Structure 1
Amino acid sequence: MRHMSDPMRIFDRALLRRRRERAAPSIQRVTPVLEAAAEILLDRLEDTSRRFSRALDIGGRGSVAPALRARGVDHVVSIDLSPRMAGRAGGLPLAADEEWLPFAPASFDLVVANLSLHWVNDLPGALLQIRQALAPDGLFLASLPILGTLQSLRTTLAEAEATLRGGISPRISPFPELRDGAALLQRAGFAMPVADRDRLDLRFRTPMALIADLRAAGEGNAVLARDSRIPPRALFPLAFSTLPSQDGSVAMPLEMVILTGWAPAEGQPQPARRGSAQARLADALGTVEHKAGGPTRH
């Protein structure tokens, strides 16, 4: 067990579990957003002729398991930190921690994580466990919020807190960058890793409606370094007063990275050996190749 000061510990997982438990009865408030993100993610299934029969839904909150069943996946296990949330997910429910998956190797041929892995402390370790839970040639699909999500809210809260308290504390979860996606998959041993960018353009009637939806989804601040004191009464009014809005409504796009990776198997396409190409890209493009520090090559 890691010590609380371990730099790998960014999130308070016990607090996250409690917030998911409280949010379970109100999850339908944000179902349209979760389902829209799941549809973007599961569209990747149309790119393969492979058919899946044993799927693991990680933190889908009711958005993934029904959609998988509609696509012909017969057996779906839904896990969540929160037992109540797992019970509402739509698959065979199991309360489990994404950081310690309780499954034997090769248990599934499909694993889907829709907007859930951004609360994991050791993401490379979690991805490695997911890959081990996949049968050879099994598919992993995940969507994660990335840098840019909630950015205007992050900025206005920081500015308001600096004004009121002379300093800032983390009030919104840190998000990974798009460029990290494929490297994380490769590090975990996935074959043919792909990281794509996508987004949902969301608009909220008021800033408080945005906060209410985050709470309804169980997405409250669970950063270990958060300030546990009660926020100043003026914090949110001051932050909201500078939040960009149009006719009182607030645009807050959900920027996502879509991760796709396969469990290695014999017969899968392999990348060509470096330097084995028989033709030059410059020739195909009808242009000139310039080597760094060397003469022009025609």
Structure 2
Amino acid sequence: MNVFDRKAKRIQRNRTALMPDYQLYNYVKDEVGYRLADRISDINRKFGVALDLGCGRGHVSKHIYSDMVSTLYQCELAEQVLKQSEISPEVPTYKIIADEEFIPFKEKSLDLVVSSLSLHWVNDLPGCFRQVHNCLKNDGAFIGSMFGGETLYELRVSLQLAEQEREGGFAAHISPFTEIRDLGNLLNRAGFNLLTIDVDEVVINYPSMYELMYDLKGMGENNCSWSRKPQLHRDTMTAASAIYKEMYGNEHGVPATYQILYFIGWKPDPTQPKAAARGSGQVSLKNIDQLDELSKQIEEARKNIPKDPNDGSDNSQDPKK
């Protein structure tokens, strides 16, 4: 698989580091990084060694605290961006220049791998997931976020319609994103289990299409696929902006949708909980509408269990009996 020009992506990211106001363009990644760190804090465990894969400017790392992780590594493809990366305020943090496609860690050396809005530029995503799986210890966690397939659909549609009208055809200007139905399959194939995947949407209003495209460039999210068109004609841009406003505009300007896929996968371990045996359930799902009544019946049945004459205790208070 060779969809993206990784060298071009590294150059694009490094160029953002030269912008004097680069912090202004971190708003989407900062928000998603905070939400991802919140998911890590929800896990009732302190991880030993953690890796922030494709850390960017530390959008997740700056929200990692000592009760969550003992040691943190940051990996980033663009060296200038890595220099600007914020680190954890409490956890010892080490920075490494590394490509997400070639993870430089030994087998079973990590307890946690986290990645936020970086993996959508990886060519071989199944191979990347397998590398993460190999680097994790048993019962280690892989927690991440990716842009979903509906991301920037408004911009995609507007550009396609404008090009079709002005040039008689259209090219891909928005990077292909992973669909939610594919993400679970990829994680399963890589060997992860106990998967949790959920979807969120962040909608941001811009004055016009031009501000959106400028901000995407400031984020380092401009297209780097090999099939990308080298330039957009001015009249096509003007038409696309008008179409965008006509089709999706509101009183605040034009909205842009960022669909975020959050996922958690665990490396298998014998100590992990197992699914109940088939047919062991006591309540059928077809009776779910009667759940309150069934709960009352179960509680009444427990109260009517006779006491054990040998110990003088009330068995209804012992859940094992």
Which amino acid in structure 2 is aligned with residue 194 of structure 1? T
Tell me the residue number matched to 1:80.
Answer: 76
Residues of 2 paired with 1:137 and 1:40: CA distance? 23
- After superposition, where does 1:209-248 map in structure 2 within 5 Å? 209-228=211-230, 230-243=231-244, 244-247=248-251
- After superposition, where does 1:81-96 map in structure 2 within 5 Å? 81-90=77-86, 91-96=93-98
Tell me the residue number matched to 1:55.
Answer: 50
Residues of 1 paired with 2:43 and 2:281: CA distance? 27
Provide the secondary structure at the position in 1 that maps to 2:261.
strand
Deviation at 1:170, TM superposition (A): 0.5
Between the two proteins, the alignment pairs up a number of residues equal to 279
**Conservation of the 8 A alpha-carbon contact between 2:36 and 2:60:** no
Percent same amino acid among aligned pairs?
34
- After superposition, where does 1:9-20 map in structure 2 within 5 Å? 9-20=2-13
**Conservation of the 8 A alpha-carbon contact between 2:153 and 2:257:** no
Higher relative contact order (CA 8 A, sep 6+): 1
Tell me the residue number matched to 1:138.
Answer: 140
**Conservation of the 8 A alpha-carbon contact between 1:52 and 1:110:** yes
Which amino acid in structure 2 is aligned with residue 20 of structure 1? R
Which amino acid in structure 2 is aligned with residue 36 of structure 1? E
Deviations 1:142-185 (A, max 9, x none): 11111111001000101111122111111000111122222221
Deviation at 1:138, TM superposition (A): 1.5
Provide the secondary structure at the position in 1 that maps to 2:275.
coil
Which amino acid in structure 2 is aligned with residue 92 of structure 1? Y
Deviation at 1:198, TM superposition (A): 1.1
Residues of 2 paired with 1:211 and 1:93: CA distance? 30
Structure 2 gaps of 5+ residues are 87-92, 292-321
Deviation at 1:46, TM superposition (A): 3.4
1:173 paired with 2:175, answer yes
Residues of 2 paired with 1:69 and 1:195: CA distance? 24
Deviations 1:17-62 (A, max 9, x none): 1111111244412222211111222221233211123211112322
Residues of 2 paired with 1:156 and 1:32: CA distance? 24
Q: Which has the higher helix share?
A: 2
TM-score, length-scaled by structure 1: 0.87
Deviation at 1:74, TM superposition (A): 3.9
Extract structure 1 runs of 4+ deviating beyond 6 A: none
Please report the RMSD computed on the Cα atoms of aligned residues, expressed in angstroms.
2.0
Deviation at 1:89, TM superposition (A): 2.2
**Conservation of the 8 A alpha-carbon contact between 1:37 and 1:200:** no
Q: Cα gap change, 1:286/1:100 in structure 2, threshold over 3 Å: closer, same or farther?
A: same
Residues of 2 paired with 1:279 and 1:251: CA distance? 46
Structure 2 counterpart of 1:249, from 253, 261, 272 = 253
- After superposition, where does 1:1-298 map in structure 2 within 5 Å? 8-26=1-19, 27-62=22-57, 63-69=59-65, 72-90=68-86, 91-228=93-230, 230-243=231-244, 244-247=248-251, 249-274=253-278, 277=281, 280-285=284-289
Which amino acid in structure 1 is aligned with residue 160 of structure 2? A
Q: Cα gap change, 1:29/1:71 in structure 2, threshold over 3 Å: closer, same or farther?
A: farther
Deviation at 1:101, TM superposition (A): 0.8
Structure 1 gaps of 5+ residues are 1-7, 288-298
Deviation at 1:81, TM superposition (A): 1.3
- Residues 46-55 or 215-224, more deviating: 46-55
**Conservation of the 8 A alpha-carbon contact between 2:46 and 2:70:** no
TM-score, length-scaled by structure 2: 0.81
